[in-house]
Amino acid sequence: MKDKTRILVTGGDMRQIYCAEKLSAVYDTYVMGFPAGSIPEKTNLKQAVTDSNGFYDFVVLPVPPLDENGSISAPFSDTEINPDTIRKLLKPDGVVFVGKYDKKLSDIFPDNKIIDYMKCEDLSLKNAIPTAEGAVEIALNELPVTLNGLEVLIVGMGRIGTSLAEILKGFGSNITVAVHNEKGSAKARMAGIRPVFTDKMDTDYKLVFNTVPEMIFNTDLLKRFSDDTLFIDLASKPGGIDFKSATILGKKVIWALGIPGKTAPVTSGEFIAETIAGIIRERSFS
169 binding a copy of itself? (CB under 8 A): yes
* Minimum CB–partner distance for residue 145 and a copy of itself (Å): 5
Kind of pairing, strands 28-32 and 6-10?
Answer: parallel
Which part of the chain contacts a copy of itself (CB under 8 A), choosing from 69-77, 87-95, 141-149, 246-254?
141-149
- Dihedral sign from CA coordinates of 188, 193, 198, 199: positive
> For residues 251-280, which are near a copy of itself according to CB under 8 A?
263-267, 274-275, 278
**Toward a copy of itself, which CB reaches closer, 106 or 148?**
148
**Toward a copy of itself, which CB reaches closer, 77 or 185?**
185
**What is the pattern of x (binds a copy of itself, CB under 8 A) and - over residues 176-205?**
-----xxx-xxx-xxxxxx-----------
**Toward a copy of itself, which CB reaches closer, 90 or 138?**
138
Contacts of residue 73, defined as CB under 8 A and 6 or more positions apart, other chains included, come to 11, 12, 61, 62, 64, 65, 66, 67
Task: Report the distance separating Cα 160 and Cα 214, nearest Å.
Answer: 15
* Minimum CB–partner distance for residue 240 and a copy of itself (Å): 22
* Minimum CB–partner distance for residue 285 and a copy of itself (Å): 16
* Minimum CB–partner distance for residue 114 and a copy of itself (Å): 21
Helix 121-142 / helix 159-171 crossing angle, nearest 10 deg: 40
* Minimum CB–partner distance for residue 123 and a copy of itself (Å): 8
151 binding a copy of itself? (CB under 8 A): no
> For residues 92-111, which are near a copy of itself according to CB under 8 A?
none
162 binding a copy of itself? (CB under 8 A): yes
Q: What amino acid is encoded at 41 in this protein?
A: E
Task: Report the distance separating Cα 145 and Cα 223, nearest Å.
Answer: 22
Q: What amino acid is encoded at 245 in this protein?
A: S
In 56-78, which positions are buried (b, 16+ CB within 10 angstroms) versus exposed (e)?
bbbbbbbbbbbeeeeebbbeebe
* Minimum CB–partner distance for residue 209 and a copy of itself (Å): 15
Which part of the chain contacts a copy of itself (CB under 8 A), choosing from 54-62, 83-91, 117-125, 218-226?
117-125
Start-end of H helices in 81-193 = 83-89, 104-108, 121-142, 159-171, 182-190
Kind of pairing, strands 230-233 and 174-179?
Answer: unpaired
98 CB burial (10 A radius; 0-12, 13-18, 19+): buried
Cis peptide preceding 83, ω within 30 of 0: no
Residues binding a copy of itself: what is the number (CB under 8 A)? 53
Q: Which residues would be at the binding site for a copy of itself (CB under 8 A)? A: 14, 121-122, 125-126, 128-130, 133-134, 136-137, 140-141, 143-149, 159, 162-163, 166-174, 181-183, 185-187, 189-194, 263-267, 274-275, 278
